[in-house]
Structure 1
Amino acid sequence: MTVLTIHEQQEIDRANQEGKQPIVFVHGLYLLASSWENWRVFFEEQGYVTLAPGWPDDPETVAEANDDPEVFANKRIKQVTEHYAQAIGQLKRKPVIVGHSFGGLIAQQLADEGLSAVTVAIDPAGFRGVLPVPLSELKSGAPVLSNPANYHRAVTLTYEQFRYGFTNALSEEEAHQLYDRYAVPGSGTPVFQAAAANLNPWTEDQVNTRNPERGPLLLIAGEKDHTVPLAVVKAAYQLQKHNPAVTQFREFAGRGHSLTIDHGWRAVAEIALAFIAEQLQISQ
């Protein structure tokens, strides 16, 4: 079991004291919890209380992360999911869970465990049973997958790699700004786990899409996403829509993998908010 940081414990305590509907944000690879800063302000203004735990051992800042990249190494999907489950288990109210990229996969796994009141998975990494592997996804994963030794390493994306995987739909100026502000090293392990998911029956990269305990789910995809291409999210939706709970899909035209942190983040957040508010109202 991983140890929650003092800051994470303080956020849990604040959520329990305020008694509002909590929203837990789950970030993906190459970003920190700080990547949700705009979303947290937005949702708190709407009357929610928000938490953004990091992955196990995450540094607090981008500067700290880049100074000690190996702190990210060897983080497995199951380990990260259990870390968030541990935090959620201390909340007095079942939270909404919003995740991006690998965080979107983890959000679905947490929902599969019955831990989510409503789930929003944005550009979520694929899971076992999701079959499309577009060329852009292979190219985005190449900085990790090109060297088997990266399974046990932390990998730092160059600006050019971040530009292709995250900010391909943005101007050069904004792409540089986002890279400097948010980009951090990421564990190679989950990338290899995802790449082999359909070959490994025991993979940690799987979701029981028919689990009635999952609750309402909104899947969001960016049309121009290279890291988790539109076809991957659509394939996940085709599997998830067999669940007895509400399952919806939304595509954002012209948007890439950076859609949660770039200048258009608010449009995505507003769609997520509308779905969350509607589903919470239905459940009351």
Structure 2
Amino acid sequence: MNTTASQPGANALPPIVLIHGLWMTPKSWDTWAARFRAAGHEVIVPGWPGIDDRSPEDVRTNPSALEGIGLAKIVDHYERIIRALPTKPIIMGHSFGGLITQLLADRGLGVAYVGVAPGQPAGIPTLPLSTAWTGTPILSNPFDRHGAKPLSKRHFHFTFGNDLTHAESDRLWKEQAVNSYNQVFFEGVSGAIRGKGVSKVDFGRADRAPLLVITGGKDHVVPPAIGKAIVKKYRASGPAVVEYKEYAGRTHRMVSQAGWEEIADYALSWATSHALATA
């Protein structure tokens, strides 16, 4: 297979790479992946290194493969997968997957990018109180920065299930939640505050393909303030297309929350139209 991704043909549907976030596995994308495949796209949903195609229960039982893995190794992992595709894909990422999407955009690997409730790159220190609270299980113990801390059901409810009852959230935790990559979280927070590190991107890169940032009004992890700060930084730094879309009443789990179809369809329509324009 050709190891260098090229531009899609004018009439071809570009493949789509979906990147999950921290505490999740590729299963979190089941909704969007099925919908995009039904629309005729090839959809690739790789797991982070250490997760791969393992079930959430298996990862929770033995999370040792997640320990000591940092952001650079994860981004390199996705770059290898993308360069093995015959054409450049649309890249979409959720949460920390949205930060990974921006780092892949900095490497010029896609024809369009969508960050769904994306983490911020280095140099955007916006940190609302609710965001800070979501990181306390990890940040409270700096001596375990290379560990893989489990996510309690209580914290999962605050982070992902704040539109659900506790019982509904607990069921979702069992189906989807996994341990953290502590190093990734420390690197993300450090980069946002210090303005440098592995999460740094070239905000002014003129040839970057179009980027869409989506946020939800009830998101405790990446509230609209973070999404707006990301877009403002990109727009102030260079001419590449960066757009913003906010959905009232949506939580951090907007890829599967009731009404997810509206967001998925908008993201796909936006990405395909901009990908064709880029090509």
Q: Fold-level match, TM-score > 0.5? A: yes
* Structure 2 unaligned residues grouped into runs of 5+: 2-7
* Structure 1 unaligned residues grouped into runs of 5+: 1-8, 10-15
* Residue number in structure 1 paired with 2:252: 257
Q: Secondary structure at the residue paired with 2:145? A: helix
* Residue number in structure 2 paired with 1:43: 36
Q: Give 1:266 deviation, angstroms.
A: 1.5
Residue 236 in 1 paired to residue 221 in 2?
no
* Residue number in structure 2 paired with 1:169: 163
Once residues 251 and 195 of structure 2 are traced to their aligned partners in structure 1, the CA distance between those partners, rounded to angstroms, is 31
Q: Give 1:255 deviation, angstroms.
A: 1.2
* Residue number in structure 2 paired with 1:68: 62
Once residues 201 and 98 of structure 1 are traced to their aligned partners in structure 2, the CA distance between those partners, rounded to angstroms, is 24
* Residue number in structure 1 paired with 2:4: none
C-alpha distance after superposition, 1:44-91 (max 9, x if no partner): 111110001111121521121111022211221111001000111111
* Residue number in structure 2 paired with 1:22: 15
Residue 283 in 1 paired to residue 278 in 2?
yes
The aligned amino acid for 2:18 is: F
Q: Give 1:124 deviation, angstroms.
A: 0.7
Conserved 8 A contact 1:221-1:251? yes
Q: Give 1:132 deviation, angstroms.
A: 1.4
C-alpha distance after superposition, 1:8-58 (max 9, x if no partner): x9xxxxxx9xx7521001111010012111111100111110001111121
* Residue number in structure 2 paired with 1:149: 143
Once residues 222 and 253 of structure 2 are traced to their aligned partners in structure 1, the CA distance between those partners, rounded to angstroms, is 11
* Residue number in structure 1 paired with 2:264: 269
* Residue number in structure 2 paired with 1:205: 199
Percent identical pairs in the alignment equals: 33
* Residue number in structure 2 paired with 1:245: 240
Matches within 5 A, 1:67-106: 67-106=61-100
The aligned amino acid for 1:143 is: P
Residue 109 in 1 paired to residue 99 in 2?
no
Q: Give 1:177 deviation, angstroms.
A: 2.7
Once residues 37 and 269 of structure 2 are traced to their aligned partners in structure 1, the CA distance between those partners, rounded to angstroms, is 14
Conserved 8 A contact 2:19-2:92? yes
Conserved 8 A contact 1:77-1:190? yes
* Residue number in structure 2 paired with 1:56: 49
C-alpha distance after superposition, 1:178-226 (max 9, x if no partner): 2121111111111111221145454111111111232101000111111
Give the alignment's TM-score, normalised by structure 2. 0.91
Q: Secondary structure at the residue paired with 1:254? A: coil
C-alpha distance after superposition, 1:199-254 (max 9, x if no partner): 54541111111112321010001111111222111100101224322211011111
The aligned amino acid for 1:48 is: H
Aligned length: 268
Task: Supply the RMSD in Å over aligned alpha carbons.
Answer: 1.8
Give the alignment's TM-score, normalised by structure 1. 0.89
Q: Secondary structure at the residue paired with 2:214? A: strand
Conserved 8 A contact 2:127-2:226? yes
Once residues 232 and 93 of structure 2 are traced to their aligned partners in structure 1, the CA distance between those partners, rounded to angstroms, is 19
Conserved 8 A contact 2:72-2:198? yes
- Seen in structure 2, the aligned counterparts of structure 1 residues 267 and 175 have a Cα distance that, compared at 3 Å, is farther
Conserved 8 A contact 2:209-2:241? yes
- Seen in structure 2, the aligned counterparts of structure 1 residues 282 and 198 have a Cα distance that, compared at 3 Å, is closer
C-alpha distance after superposition, 1:105-142 (max 9, x if no partner): 00011011110100000111112221211111111000
Once residues 242 and 184 of structure 2 are traced to their aligned partners in structure 1, the CA distance between those partners, rounded to angstroms, is 25
